[in-house]
Amino acid sequence: MIKEIYQGDFRPADNLGMTEEYQEKRQVAYKLGKQFMDRLEPADKDELSKILEAHMEVLVAGMEEGYIYGFSDGIKLIMEAIKGKK
């Protein structure tokens, strides 16, 4: 893993959302969104697309922050265990 990190081949984001449950929920959300978009007028489709894109950016930022905090908390936990704190 250290070599992968050094060479830039380790990308945790590539491993997110690979579970079957995630894929199923993603597919359901896609179908519902497509059905709704198909009923909209072109101008409304554009506006909704912009709204959805903004929400996607928020989700991605939240996932990134969660990963960073989780990683940091994991290191703190390991350090505490090594130091023998109780």
CB atoms near residue 40 (< 10 Å): 13
pLDDT digits (tens, 9 = 90+) for 5-62: 788 888 877 777 678 998 899 899 999 999 999 999 999 999 999 999 999 999 989 9
**Annotated domain spans of the chain:** 1-39, 41-85
pTM score above 0.85: no
| Between 3 and 57, residue with greater pLDDT | 57
pLDDT of residue 85: 65
Q: Are 48 and 32 in contact (CB under 8 A)?
A: no
Interhelix angle for 42-83 vs 20-38, to 10°?
160
Instruction: Give the residue carrying structure tokens 């449950």.
Output: 21
Rounded Cα–Cα distance for residues 49 and 42 (Å): 11
Tokens 């703190």 -> residue: 76
